[in-house]
Structure 1
Amino acid sequence: MTVNEPSVPLSFPRQYARTQRFTLGAPRGFTVSPDGERVVFLRSPSGTRSHQLWVLDTGSGAAGRERVAADPDELLGGATEQLSAQERARRERSREGSAGIVAYAVDGAVELAAFALSGRLFTAELRAGTARELRTPGPVIDPRPSPDGRHVAYVARGALRVTGTEGEEDRALAEPEDAHTTYGLAEFVAAEEMARSRGFWWSPESDRLLVARVDDAPVARWWIADPAHPEREPERVPYPAAGTDNAEVRLFLIGLDGDRQEVVWDRRRYPYLARVHWSGNGAPLLLVQARDQRTQVYLAVDPATGTTRTVHVDEDPVWLDLHPGTPAWDPRGRLVRIVDEGGARVLAVGDRALTGAALHLRSVLDIGENDVLVAASAGTEAKDPETGEIHVYRVNELGVERVSEGPGIHSAVRGGGVTVLSSARADAPGSVARVLRDGTEVAVVASYAETPVLSARVRLTEGGARRIPCAVLLPSTYEEGDGPLPVLMDPYGGPHGQRVVAAHNPHLTSQWFADQGFAVIVADGRGAPGRSPAWEKAIAGDLTPTLDDQIEALQGLAGEFPLDLGRVGIRGWSYGGYLAAMAVLRRPDVFHAAVVGAPLSDLRLYDTHYTERYLGGTPQERPEVYEANSLVWDEGLVGAESPARPMMIIHGLADDNVVVAHSLKLSSALLAAGRPHEVLPLTGVTHMTPQEQIAENLLLLQVDFLKRSL
């Protein structure tokens, strides 16, 4: 905006895009020092994408004081941030769209932080609040201080390197043997599907590291081109599609003195290295999975020899899920894990389950001397469960105590008697981060996030005989007696993607669509997380229940809300895009138009760990299952004889997760079947759409299409 340009209030689509879904300015990435004196976090000034590193002091005399520990603008001297291809890929896997300091790691005392900025290595003294650059070969990825704060390990050009915190004795501990090999980085499926973004782990004694070696030579190569720039060569990327070879992952113990020992386990039987945990409570701990994900083994590593012993084995006839914060040792050396047992998802410590069917465990947040801090939603035997809520609980042998208060979505980070409790509610925008010492509030971390120009008037309810969790949003100006409204189903509707939550901001886009004249319904049917193991696993080998439940929710709510069932649209992205396309292709009697964003149209083209889990095997083993669950197949389009419904297909041409071939195959099949449709290709856009103008215009184009079609 120029000096003389009048200030014009932002529309919701522009504000939503500019603030990256109202995340900019909100504090995140909390760490509490073990002495409870400092809370470290990331936060960007409102209206900018560049995150700074902050410290909040909690000690006597300074409680609540916030200070900047590292400012990227100062450290880069105002220069534009430059990212390597590997760093861009890491951010794509973690859906990170902001800039500046987007991640950091700390030493054991939380006195030193290390972070990468524009491919350069920086450290910050958190007590003093000073930051400086360490001269290293670059571009630097994922720097992490040793627990004693004397060294920083990082990855550069596929090599794991280490340097002193004064910048001395920088050296490579493990260098790639060829162009296919890296040390210290997570492979594609680990980062995309297992939530393991790391590839190296320090020992508690700071004298050695566990380092993943990834060889992607076995992985098939795909080409991702930019048709808007025909002068550029296509990018050649390894992509492990269902039924094809994964990268080969090995693990090594590497000492600072150069000593190297391979960690040995049955990698042929358990090729997936899902988790690594190394703390002072016990030996290095691995969780490795079979390719079919029905068996996983917890292994303790002997640091002297690299040999492993089995600590525990989990088996499930359908699949085994991975959970944040587990596995780990508690201070008494007992294994902490989350397990499906007796129809419930429970916390197990050692050989004993400490929770029951009243709670559905989501993650382990912290393991203390006398308790485990967890996040959980209501289980199958909960009394008066509230739709979409997640709470924080303290669990030990004596029982379960809820820490969070009031309806909402809560999470926590803890250390040294201090807990940062973050809470979002359905009736207020954003979230609040309260700093508690022994349960008493000592500070509130300031949020610079913008206040949305609209408010979500969400009603959380249940629909249909299955009591499907739903969120319903009507136009802000709607009054009783205005008559029925065209309906927009707005789901994700698949694994990992809970959308019916007791928080305000996740429903803002749905409210904006409602304000355009729709009754918007968000439904989390079978397959979505947060209810029970049986609910999530009901889609094994057959994804159509996710569509059936959208229909059941819609019809179940029709008697309670002003829904015009003769005008029903559906929109979605990724799995939601797959679901939207399936809705109009297979049930045109119910759905009359669809916005199909980045859909998985042919499941043979999606990755191994995800697809083989939910379809129960590879395309070679179960070709009929892949055919039945895909929207298109070589023999033609599923449902080609049914009535055609308007469809807008949107896809980023640079998407390396759900590649654009999915949408191109779908469009070709529609064309061959004589079905009119629209295709909107997004040049230079990946699976995320962080670009401000693109994100804004996508909302406007979608509502225009839906109004025309309905």
Structure 2
Amino acid sequence: MTYLSFPRQHARTQRFTLGVPRGFVVAPAEPGGTAGAGGRVVFVRARAGSRSSEDAGGGEHLLWVLDLPAEGEAGEAPAERVAADPVALLNGADEELPAAERARRERSREGSAGIVAFAVDDAAGTAAFALSGRLFTADLTPGGGGARELAVPGPVVDPRPSPDGRWVAYTAQGALRAVEATGSGDRAIAEPDGDEVTWGLAEFIAAEEMGRSRGYWWSPDSTALLAARVDESPVQRWWIAQPAHPDREPVAVPYPAAGTANADVSLSLFRLADGSRVDVEWDRARHPYLAAVHWSAGGPPLLLVQTRDQREQRYLEVDTATGATSTLAVEEDRIWLDLFPGTPVRTPAGELVRITDENGARVLKAGDATLTGPELHVRAVLDAGGPGILVAASAGAAAEDPETGQVHVYRVDESGAVRVSSEPGLHGAVRSGDVTVLSSAALDRPGTVTRVLRGGTVVAEVASHAETPSLTARPQLLEAGERRIPAAVLLPTDYRESDGPLPVLLDPYGGPHGQRVVAAHNPHLVSQWFADQGFAVIVADGRGTPGRSPEWEKAIAGNFADVSVEDQVEALQSLSGMFPLDLERVAIRGWSYGGYLAALAALRRPDVFHAAVVGAPVTDLRLYDTHYTERYLGHPDEQPEVYDANAVVTEEGLRDAAEPHRPMMIIHGLADDNVLVAHSLRLSTALLAAGRPHEVLPLSGVTHMTPQEQVAENLLLLQVDFLKRALGLL
């Protein structure tokens, strides 16, 4: 029974993320020969890799600084220092999150505690962050004054220093405010003009689906702020109750379901000197989605705005004197247009940098020039400040080696692309000037290694405090079937050929934005644990998943259900000739889109799948949000038949439920405000009406993340018990 230790460890370490350094900011080098003259790296990291650490606050994130030696300077290895400790700043008290901060963390899937986010000025000399709705700053310079609280109205959310470090802006009670870094001169920059209006915060759709987590931006000269005004009064209200606490009132949640009204989002510029306001103008009726904002010394502010159907988007430049906008580029696609991390952005010379689809490839553009071709599938811009543009990319359709599951860092300019990361794996980077922080994960080792490079030379390594997993994942990465579906296969650690065929567990996400087949160790740990319970586990990234090609991702347009299930079946059947798979005992499990896929598989293809664990599924696409659902399926009023065809449940009941009945375990958090529990309740009701036995596991007080330790641990154990019962293995 020693295998029980992994679920406990997995839960206590927050999936082995505690203690991993992250949120890196690189400070530019300073003149002179003092300590830290070579610049510094700022980041957050928990002091221990487990919540159960005996040290106080072992699971809470601290703010750290790594001072770098000047170029060519010899001496001892750079040392890390603590810039801010939440335990000390709160005098050991537990952190109390205001509602707006809880919502921000839920949207970003942030389950950790302490200093989980911070912002710095241009010199990275001052950091600002919020704890328990209070505003703190930290002096990051060597020998600086440490961290201190600024007394301001709260609760504080998303504080950000001005580029020159003289001010700190923040949001509180729907207003955007600013205070001098000394703690004096606090003032309101923009105040709400209605009960459902906020300034400086990202609305639900932006944070959940667009990747825009912020709602205000400093001017490069620190004299003005661009701020988003969000009016949620047009958005319908849904109610999230707490059935385990009938004495508590339900919570109203503004939720823009497919086909319904979105929040009204606009943008204004405010000048600190005189408090004047200039409203930014664009055709918001035609382009209601404010997808991204960028403002740097490279030029005037950039906006990326989209039509509601996301088939047209415009890159706009803002005239800060008048608020008028002019179009720099227009993109159109007959299916949909994607958004990419780090874009749009400007080079120091002012060129617009973006990622777009051209001739079947996903390429990098700077101004009018296309800098990459079909050999790379560009996924994110990491830095455009030079030299060259730093990007994350996978192998493209024209690459000689598909490099299944790998993502590398490249430096791109007019002469081509140069790979910065070397070993096979999953890589990301942050850069400023000639200093790059490169984080690398690989299949043959647990965790992430973070190195600091000056030029191409490693000058430091940032330590990880993450725990070493109690098991070793052994995925075999390959491509399955005629479609060359990326797949990972995991067998029990002690499996021998003489053991014979194994019951099969498919463990996919299988949908947009969710790549599971990656060349890194830790993402496969849970699948390996399930394999060690006696299963052959298959993880398959079918059409619609990211990282391969635009055509691959867009193959699910209008047809989630058939395409996603078909690719899981193809992967399973093609791998049966290569691995010891018992095709008479096949189960599938998944969460969110994976839960939706698991339900579809068991209901529509019971000839292939014999049991399903269905976690937090979207069962009626009309109940999911506008930006996501309408991108893939269109508007429900215009294409109701598409929504019906892709639903697990319709108003009439189960959709396309074939015989025979297959056992199903449905799991859902009652406090989920992303995929509401209504989805699972409607599925259970339809199954009951159809006379199909099933199990429902309601998770009281749990959201879409399931961060609670006991919940996370027992979910794994209960799923294994169900799967063994359902497949006749007990």
TM-score normalised to structure 1 length: 0.98
Offset of residue 368 of structure 1: 2.6
CA contact 1:366–1:373 (8 Å) conserved in 2: yes
Secondary structure of 1:481's aligned partner:
helix
> Residue in 1 aligned with 2:383?
366
1:567 paired to 2:581: no
* Aligned pairs for 1:431-446 within 5 A: 431-446=448-463
> Residue in 1 aligned with 2:636?
619
CA contact 1:161–1:170 (8 Å) conserved in 2: yes
* Aligned pairs for 1:173-572 within 5 A: 173-256=189-272, 257-543=274-560, 544-572=562-590
> Residue in 2 aligned with 1:65?
79
Report the Cα distance in structure 2 between the residues aligned to 1:404 and 1:482, rounded to whole angstroms: 40
Deviates most, 379-388 or 693-702: 379-388
Report the Cα distance in structure 2 between the residues aligned to 1:42 and 1:573, rounded to whole angstroms: 28
CA contact 1:44–1:52 (8 Å) conserved in 2: yes
CA contact 1:486–1:518 (8 Å) conserved in 2: yes
CA contact 1:603–1:630 (8 Å) conserved in 2: yes
1:151 paired to 2:161: no
CA contact 2:593–2:618 (8 Å) conserved in 1: yes
Report the Cα distance in structure 2 between the residues aligned to 1:427 and 1:638, rounded to whole angstroms: 43
Report the Cα distance in structure 1 between the residues aligned to 2:717 and 2:651, rounded to whole angstroms: 34
Report the Cα distance in structure 2 between the residues aligned to 1:294 and 1:49, rounded to whole angstroms: 43
> Residue in 1 aligned with 2:188?
172
CA shift digits 1:60-88 (9 cap, x unpaired): 45652100000000100101110111110
Report the Cα distance in structure 1 between the residues aligned to 2:328 and 2:433, rounded to whole angstroms: 30
Secondary structure of 2:445's aligned partner:
coil
Report the Cα distance in structure 1 between the residues aligned to 2:280 and 2:263, rounded to whole angstroms: 17
> Residue in 2 aligned with 1:655?
672
Report the Cα distance in structure 1 between the residues aligned to 2:67 and 2:28, rounded to whole angstroms: 13
CA contact 2:605–2:658 (8 Å) conserved in 1: no
CA contact 1:357–1:382 (8 Å) conserved in 2: yes
1:160 paired to 2:154: no
Report the Cα distance in structure 1 between the residues aligned to 2:62 and 2:526, rounded to whole angstroms: 27
CA contact 2:135–2:151 (8 Å) conserved in 1: yes
Secondary structure of 1:517's aligned partner:
coil
User: Of 582, 588, 594, which residue of structure 1 is paired with 2:600?
Assistant: 582
> Residue in 1 aligned with 2:13?
19
CA contact 2:606–2:658 (8 Å) conserved in 1: no
Report the Cα distance in structure 2 between the residues aligned to 1:662 and 1:80, rounded to whole angstroms: 34
Structure 1: state its 5+ residue gaps: 1-7
Secondary structure of 2:101's aligned partner:
helix
Amino acid of the residue matched to residue 496 of structure 2? E
User: Of 118, 122, 132, which residue of structure 2 is paired with 1:108?
Assistant: 122
> What is the root-mean-square deviation in Å for CA atoms of aligned residues?
1.0
User: Of 25, 38, 58, which residue of structure 1 is paired with 2:40?
Assistant: 38
> Residue in 2 aligned with 1:698?
715
> Residue in 2 aligned with 1:3?
none
CA shift digits 1:646-681 (9 cap, x unpaired): 000000000000000000000111011100000000
Report the Cα distance in structure 2 between the residues aligned to 1:177 and 1:160, rounded to whole angstroms: 12
User: Of 55, 64, 67, which residue of structure 1 is paired with 2:65?
Assistant: 55
Report the Cα distance in structure 1 between the residues aligned to 2:334 and 2:433, rounded to whole angstroms: 41
Report the Cα distance in structure 2 between the residues aligned to 1:63 and 1:606, rounded to whole angstroms: 51
Aligned length: 702
CA contact 1:57–1:63 (8 Å) conserved in 2: no
Report the Cα distance in structure 2 between the residues aligned to 1:304 and 1:59, rounded to whole angstroms: 43
Amino acid of the residue matched to residue 506 of structure 2? M
Offset of residue 10 of structure 1: 7.4
Secondary structure of 1:667's aligned partner:
helix
Amino acid of the residue matched to residue 688 of structure 2? L
CA contact 1:593–1:706 (8 Å) conserved in 2: yes
Report the Cα distance in structure 1 between the residues aligned to 2:653 and 2:60, rounded to whole angstroms: 48
CA contact 2:378–2:394 (8 Å) conserved in 1: yes
CA contact 1:640–1:673 (8 Å) conserved in 2: no
> Residue in 2 aligned with 1:82?
96
Report the Cα distance in structure 2 between the residues aligned to 1:325 and 1:391, rounded to whole angstroms: 16
Amino acid of the residue matched to residue 108 of structure 2? S
Secondary structure of 1:387's aligned partner:
coil
Secondary structure of 2:641's aligned partner:
helix
Structure 2: state its 5+ residue gaps: 30-37, 51-57
CA contact 2:316–2:327 (8 Å) conserved in 1: yes
Amino acid of the residue matched to residue 637 of structure 2? Q
Amino acid of the residue matched to residue 577 of structure 2? G
CA contact 2:98–2:155 (8 Å) conserved in 1: yes
Secondary structure of 1:429's aligned partner:
strand
Offset of residue 640 of structure 1: 3.4
CA contact 2:603–2:658 (8 Å) conserved in 1: no
Amino acid of the residue matched to residue 490 of structure 2? L
Offset of residue 642 of structure 1: 2.0
Amino acid of the residue matched to residue 295 of structure 1? E
Deviates most, 59-68 or 385-394: 59-68
Identity %: 72
CA contact 1:602–1:631 (8 Å) conserved in 2: yes
CA contact 2:411–2:418 (8 Å) conserved in 1: yes
